[in-house]
Chain A
Amino acid sequence: MDELERKKRIRRTTLFVALIALAVYAGFIAMGVLRA
């Protein structure tokens, strides 16, 4: 794996994991809104 490829992968993984976190946050607030 060369440096450029590694950088690309790092960016992709970061984005992916950060999106999971955001989705969980939004999902739980949405659930609260629906329940209340």
Chain B
Amino acid sequence: MSTATTADDHLVDDHEDHGPPAGIKRWLFSTNHKDIGTLYLIFSLVMFFIGGSMAMVIRSELAQPGLQFVHPEFFNQMTTMHALIMVFGAVMPAFVGLANWMIPLQLGAPDMALPRMNNWSFWILPVAFGILLSTLFMPGGAPAGGWTMYPPLVLQTGDAFPFLIFSVHLMGLSSIMGAINVIVTIINMRAPDMTLLKMPMFVWTWLITAYLLIAVMPVLAGAVTMLLTDQFFGTSFFLAAGGGDPVMFQHIFWFFGHPEVYIMILPAFGVVSEIIPTFARKKLFGHDSMVYAASCIAFLSFIVWAHHMFTVGMPFTGQLFFMFATMLIAVPTGVKIFNWIATMWRGAMTFETPMLFSLGFVFLFTIGGFSGLMLAIAPADVQYHDTYFVVAHFHYVLVPGSIFAIMAAAYYWLPKWTGHMYNEKVGKLHFWASTIFVNLTFFPMHFLGLAGMPRRIPDYSTQFADFNLWASIGAIGFGLSQLIFVYVLLTAKKGAKATDRVWEGSHGLEWTVPSPAPWHTFTTPPKHRIADESFD
């Protein structure tokens, strides 16, 4: 790429003299977007393994009928903590970490717009999760009322209750600060001539995600604040005995909860939209319609929340509205999937690990989309609701959906981060092991759900035994497969030196900086020519 040399001119300039400070201070007081991105990514990986080990407890107990390992109350603590940690500790911080690393590089900006707040929004997270995990050792144990925290059950939580509320508040604060930073960066720090519609898809999906975060994290904060006052300050927002309404919590929670689902998937769409064109050596099909589809999904996410509540007894017209609105989401989601396939069509594909994870994403996310469409049908949802069918559905969109996209992104940009190629063979092994086991884990859950097995139960009738055993074997296999990823990371610097472009088909400003990306990049904005060429 002819522009690489011109790019280097303004990259490696007088900033060589102030590199990162040494030791722990580099990380504690960091305001550098790359360092903070790294912190986020490492944090989310640690949480992924903690949440994953809880999943191992759950699946071990469910491997066969009867109780073998844990008491029901501890089982409920595990399901609750597994969800909270995976949603708020693993998936969301991983995407924020990717945003920190890549958005300034893709925009040609020297850093995030608000670097000191960036430091805060990261360092709040270890505190929040330290508090949440400490509840495991409190009298009465960790929260066990489900991650949805439905009252009145959640009010039966022991000493852990105020800590749960406080840690959720902190997670929300961190997300909001992160989202403000992303929005302000994207609005104000783009390279000259990079109009909004010329932005890479990853940046676009993150802009939309950040607005979703701004709109719904305060809603969650409001809901848990009301739980707190109900418990300690004599209010009765959700207590029927005092004239309150337990169902109102569900409405508020899912008004947060449904956009939250898209917060976890939109950046994944962005990642896949970056990777597929690279390895198909062909421009992304329908860039603008991808943007419109993502915006459309974001808008619809605000008017479908009550499809999580078809069994609470809503008025008929309400159910009808939420059913139709939910079905509509299939249209923009379909557009995205069709566009990815059109991008592959008549490309020249190669199948490196990031591409494999992206293709796995397209296949398996689509399966999750199908079960989502089935769940939208309100009368049928009466049968599916709160069974393993739902568990299968949301794990299909979150594990081979969001998490596969995160893995794809990690492999895709790892050479840019470390300056070395990772071990391709081991990466592919990681992909194939993950794909086989993820399906072995979650596909049989569809059958369990259709046969009527409710979710969140520690023990089950013997007719469900076989599929549960399959799922448990798959889950243990999937958990062990992730250790392969750790191996890849530990040996990441042993591979061949990476070029600036890294991949033959890569486009975009992040590939014009050296590998590894120096501590400071784009201290002066990239020249127009580079910008233009990269977006063509």
Main DSSP-derived SS at the A contact region: helix
* Contact call B180/A18, Cβ cutoff below 8 A: yes
- Kindly supply a per-residue 1/0 record for chain A positions 23-36, scoring 1 wherever the CB is within 8 Å of any chain B CB and 0 otherwise: 01100110011011
Query: Which of A6, A10, A14, A35 is B245 in contact with, Cβ under 8 Å?
Result: A35
CB distance from A25 to the nearest CB of B (A): 4
With A9-B188, A10-B184, A13-B187 known as contacts, the answer to whether A28 contacts B237 (CB < 8 A) is no
> Which one, A17, A24, A36, contacts B237 given CB within 8 A?
A36
Instruction: Choose among A6, A18, A24, A32 the residue that contacts B226 (Cβ–Cβ < 8 A).
Output: A32
Nearest to A20 among chain B residues (CB) is B214
Residues of B within 8 A of A29 (CB): 222, 225-226
Contact of A21 among B217, B237, B245, B252 (CB under 8 A): B217
**Contact: A25 with B184, CB < 8 Å?**
no
Interface: B492 (CB within 8 A): no
Q: Does B183 contact A17, Cβ atoms closer than 8 Å?
A: yes
Cβ–Cβ < 8 Å partners of B180 in chain A: 14, 17-18, 21
A22 within 8 A of B: yes
Contact in complex: A32, B248 (CB < 8 Å): yes
A20 and B187 contacting across the interface, CB-CB below 8 Å? no
In the complex, A26 Cα to B260 Cα: how many Å? Answer: 19
| A28 CB to nearest chain B CB (Å) | 4
Residue of B nearest to A23 (CB): B218
Minimum CB–CB distance for A29 against chain B, Å = 5
- A29 to B188: give the CA distance in the assembly, Å: 32
| Contact present for B252 and A32 (CB under 8 Å) | yes
Contact residues of B between 89 and 136, Cβ < 8 Å to A: 113-114
B228-260 Cβ-contact flags toward A at 8 Å (1 or 0): 000000011100001111001000100000000
Find chain B residues with CB under 8 A from A17 CB: 179-180, 183-184, 214
Name 23 A/B residue pairs within 8 A (Cβ), A-sorted.
Answer: A6-B189, A10-B184, A13-B184, A13-B188, A14-B114, A17-B180, A17-B183, A18-B180, A20-B214, A21-B176, A21-B214, A24-B214, A24-B215, A24-B218, A28-B218, A28-B223, A28-B252, A29-B226, A32-B226, A32-B237, A35-B237, A36-B236, A36-B242
Residues in chain A within 8 A of chain B (CB atoms): 6, 9-10, 13-14, 17-18, 20-22, 24-25, 28-29, 32-33, 35-36
In the complex, besides A9-B188, A24-B215, A25-B222, 14 extra interface pairs with C-beta distance below 8 angstroms are A10-B114, A10-B184, A17-B183, A17-B214, A18-B180, A20-B214, A20-B215, A25-B218, A28-B219, A32-B226, A32-B237, A32-B252, A36-B235, A36-B237
Q: Which residues of B contact A (CB under 8 A)?
A: 113-114, 176, 179-180, 183-184, 187-189, 214-219, 221-223, 225-226, 235-237, 242-245, 248, 252
